[in-house]
Each structure stands twice: as structure tokens, then as C-alpha cells.
A = this chain, B = another copy of it.
Amino acid sequence: MTKEPTKAATPTAARADAKGRAPADAAPASNRATRAAERRSAIVEAAMEEFIARGFAATRLDDIARRAGVAKGTIYLHFKDKESMFEELVRTVIVPVVAKLNALPPPTGSVRDLVEAFAGNFLREVIGTRRGDLVRLIVAEGPRFPSVADFYYREVVSRGIAGMRALIELGIARGEIREKNLARYPQILVAPAMIAVIWQSLFARHAPLDAQDMLRVHLDLIFGERRTT
């Protein structure tokens, strides 16, 4: 009475190669594997939208399928069940974020400029975008999906904290930051940005928040006098 399907691996990836030769006549953009990958992305994309809009429990696979333009059953060719889909989804969406964090340029110029550039970029790319909603989604569903919270902590939060700490220590060493204890709580550095993300989702229509400006004020607190821009 039990089975174990465990699908979700890339389905037909290397069949052509089994012939022992490169598929010379394979049109690069329309073979089976490519179309399957496209469908998978469509599902991931659609699922993101729905999960963000309604949360895990209230999201219907029917709606995901319709939005992705596939049949309900197709989802099960790519994901074992709704829970696995949610978990893999978050991983899939987080991966580029991690890549971006790892690709940060080495610190040149003042630490404040670095932080401001980085945080400004973060705000532009996250606030009010789907990626910001992803943060809210993780906050919302984390307790019910410990594996998701774990993954997010391991891949994003702990690395981000470590990176911030390194920057803060550099700023302290260069005399840009006076408050030495800040290195113990890099969370303080990013707290306003997180607040801005959440504020955007919940209260923007009551009181819009200029996240970039708030960030500058926050950095003034940390780095001292605002520079004359």
C-alpha cells in the first residue's frame, strides 16, 4: 500500500547523448528537455505568484496550473507534492540571490560608499518587488516549514550577516565607524531595510515610506555626519 515515486529530477535530460553522439540536428530551443525546463520555470513562476499572494495553505494547485498554462497533472511531473513544490520553489528562487552575494566586488573606496551602494541596490531590487514578497513569505511560512527557514538562514542570512560584519569591522578599522559594538550586531545595519520591505507590503497605502532616504539617515547614524553629496 506504499509507493515512492520521487520524481522532480530533470526528466529527459541526457537521453540524446545515450546514442553516443552529440545531437547535431537538435534545434537548440525546441527539443523535449528544453520545453520541459520551460514548463518547469513557468510552474515555478506561477507558484511564486500564488504562494506570495495567498500563502501556502490557501494556494490552490488549480490556480498555479492555470497561471502556468499547464494541466494540473503536469505539476506532479516536476514536484512530488504541494509541500515539496513550496520548498524547492523557495530554494530555486533564492539561488540567484546567493550567487549575487558571492559575486560582490572586493571593497574599494570608503566603507560607507560600499554599504550605501549595496543597500541601495538591495532596496531597489527588493522593495516592492517579488523578491521582497519572498522575504515576507519566508517570515510567514517559516515556522511551518523549518527546512525552508533553515535553508534561508544557511544560504542567505548567515552569509549576509558575515559579510556585514566584515564590512563593519573594516569601517571600524578605518575609523569610519566609531561604535565598535556594532560588529557584534550586524542585524542593526540591515534592520531598517527589512522593516522597509515589510512596511511596503503592509502599510504602504497608508503611509508610503522612502526607503532610500531612510537608509541614508540610518547610515548617518552609523557613519557620523552626512557627507555633502
Contacts and interface: CB of A to CB of B under 8 A. Distances in A.
Interface of A: 1, 53-58, 83, 136, 138-144, 149-150, 152-154, 157-158, 179, 181-182, 184-185, 187-188, 190-192, 194-196, 198-199, 201-203, 206-207, 209, 213-214, 217-218, 220-222
B144 A206 contact: no
A184 B217 contact: yes
Given A57-B57, A140-B55, A188 B153 contact: no
Q: Is chain A's interface secondary structure helix, strand, loop, or mixed overall?
A: helix
Given A153-B206, A185-B218, 8 more contacts: A57-B58, A139-B202, A142-B201, A154-B206, A185-B192, A187-B209, A188-B214, A188-B221
Contacts of A191: 188, 191-192, 194-195
Contact of A187 (B83, B138, B199, B201): B199
A23 to B, nearest CB: 12
A185 B144 contact: no
The 4 closest A-B pairs by CB, nearest first: A140-B140, A57-B57, A191-B191, A57-B58
Nearest to A138: B202
Contacts of A142: 201-202
Given A83-B1, A185-B214, A55 B144 contact: yes
A2 to B, nearest CB: 12
Contacts of A179: 217, 220-221
Given A185-B217, A188-B217, A222-B221, A58 B144 contact: yes
Contacts of A201: 139, 142-143
A222 B153 CA distance: 28
A182 B221 contact: yes
A140 B144 CA distance: 12
